Chains A and B, each alone.
Chain A
Amino acid sequence: MIQNNPIGRIIAHIILIVGILIVAFPIYYTFVASTQTLQDIIRPPLSLLPGGHFWENYSSALFGGIGKIGGVGVDRLLLNTLVMALGIAIGKIIISILSAYAIVFFRFPGRMFFFWFIFITLMLPVEVRILPTYKIMVDLGLIDTYTGLILPLMASATATLLFRQFFMTIPGELVEAARVDGAGPWRFFKDILLPLSKTNIAALFVILFIYGWTQYLWPLLMTNRNDMATIVIGLRKMIDFTDANTQWHLVMVTCILAILPPILVVVLMQRWFVRGLVETEK
């Protein structure tokens, strides 16, 4: 390996730094733009250093009247997105862990049929089934509701598969020891399986939270009212193509605000997340 070679180490660092710069620069640039006035932004070149309008822009986006999109504040959009992302992440984890539990640890007629049925849905991208799903949601009257936003995105073959693979690595003797110890199916799940799965759950939560947070197509279809829109939809609505009326500095502020919660989730759960991905604690 090149670990002890100083030149190799320098090259490795240069590559890493360049990589970070490429990834981080747009975000930094967004932040810079969010601290400028509209006039500064639309008159290039934009300075590479943050401007002096941080508080002004952020408070007007969060609390002021200018930032409102069709009469709805950014806080409402953030709340909607949070509910949706949490709903999808938590709901998906609950459903998939339970179905994986059933498939791995119970023998019932049609077990493999159900497994393959779940598995096959993996091959259908969301977009393929989006119209039938939309029709169902309309018939159920779930347009402009949280339920309508969350429910169709909850069923997930990927998460079920992930849990299934993990459960299959749990030694049979452990299951038998629990049986001898008098743990029924529910106790076994609660006392043994759940604690053992917590790193997997954490990793999945991070992935699913971001997945839910960044949804665009589905909320676009499901929401008509402005007060049910998510932050990503809100961003899109803030950008006005017909006239040059777009409040770019506020758009940038909203961008930063939209990025923050996922970053927070990743940072807070990073330890668990990494462990869930690399470690199989047994």
Chain B
Amino acid sequence: MASVELTDVRKVYGSSVEAVKGVNISINDGALCVLVGPSGCGKSTLLRMIAGLESITDGTVKIDSTVVNNLGPAERDIAMVFQNYALYPHMKVYDNMAYGLRNRGMPKDEIDKRVRDAAQILELTQLLERRPKELSGGQRQRVAMGRAIVRSPKVFLFDEPLSNLDAKLRGQMRVEIKNLQRQLGVTSVYVTHDQLEAMTLADILVVMNGGAVEQIGAPLDIYEKPASTFVASFIGAPPMNLVPVTADGSGLILKDGTRIGAQGLAVPISGAVIGFRPEDLEVSAGTNTHIGGLALDLKVLGVEPVGAESYVYGIIGGERVVVRVSGRSTSQTDDHLRVIIPKEKLHLFNEAGKRI
């Protein structure tokens, strides 16, 4: 168990391609930190730098307050779960888990005890004599976890471990990973591109974009106060609606020229983006009953009922938006709805996409 600290970590490929641009993250002992972002944002590179599989161009990585920049992966006392599990195909489940321990010269009975304990936790006891190709995807995933657990390392590293599973199993394994991590209390870094996984697993959520950190914080804090339009649109499903506006003395002007009341919003003249979550909209029956919020006209493009709720897709001021309505929606295509965004639910971003 240990803390992990990244200070100004940079990765430059060749002479000019900057994959990771000065990242600072500090992960407390026992916390689960999720790195999330679109593909190519540098999250996997960052994880591999912590693992020691990728060299560090600049900055320091500390595990348990020891700088590990120049240590090999085996010396860092980390264990990694790979996206494709990377199980040794010719070894039985038992040997797959025991291999790392044997290489460290651990006594046989100690290895046996650890493997059997891990197998017990992961319900793999029946499968110890099987080979990886005789296992299902979920079981392989468990073996990969087991291989990490038996080592009882200082840090667990997960590189998109669930992305090869089907949706149902993914949800199940997500809960298992979370519980396991809690139970073992091992500091973990988890990379995913799935915002739902990120939200549900993370103690600390790190949203990355283009090699840099966009925002670090508790998942719900990030959800409630996204630092930029990128974070706003990446976290949450369906994503936050973003509508660009300009202002003059008397109110706000939408892209298509519709004027709306400013309602005390301090919008810069140069323009801004207002954001609102799909679930924060209230559909109003009347025509103009706004109570301390922005009242907008929405033209319905289509309705998607998904059971417990419905998504109403529409256009506000020339921008496509989504509204989440509980239960069934009675709206029809081409209907005009009056929607109200309560003022406290409004997010305001400047032209550069930063939160105001």
Contact = CB atoms under 8 A, between A and B. Distances in A.
A173 B89 contact: no
Contact of A182 (B86, B88, B104): B104
Interface stretch (A133-141, A189-197, A240-248): A189-197
Given A176-B86, A180-B78, A180-B100, 14 more contacts: A171-B84, A173-B82, A173-B84, A177-B82, A177-B88, A180-B74, A180-B79, A180-B80, A181-B74, A182-B104, A183-B74, A183-B99, A195-B91, A281-B90
18 contacts: A171-B84, A173-B84, A174-B88, A177-B87, A179-B72, A179-B73, A180-B51, A180-B78, A180-B79, A180-B100, A182-B104, A187-B103, A192-B90, A196-B89, A196-B90, A281-B89, A281-B133, A282-B89
Scoring B79, B89, B91, B147 by chain A CB atoms within 10 A of each residue's CB, the highest score goes to B89
A173 B100 CA distance: 15
Nearest to A197: B90
Contact of B53 (A179, A187, A191, A196): A179
A196 B88 CA distance: 9
A181 B111 CA distance: 14
Interface of B: 51, 53, 72-74, 78-80, 82-84, 86-91, 99-100, 103-104, 133, 147
A182 B51 CA distance: 12
A176 B82 CA distance: 9
Contacts of B90: 192, 195-196, 281
B111 to A, nearest CB: 13
Contacts of A281: 89-90, 133
Residue from the set A173, A180, A187, A191 with the largest chain B CB neighbour count within 10 Å: A180
Contacts of A187: 103
Contacts of B51: 176, 180
Interface of A: 171, 173-174, 176-183, 187, 191-192, 195-196, 281-282
Nearest to A194: B90
B3 to A, nearest CB: 20
A48 to B, nearest CB: 50
Contacts of A196: 89-90
A183 B103 contact: yes
A178 B104 CA distance: 12
B86 A171 contact: yes
A183 B91 CA distance: 15
Nearest to A172: B86
B325 to A, nearest CB: 44
Contacts of B79: 180
B74 A179 contact: yes
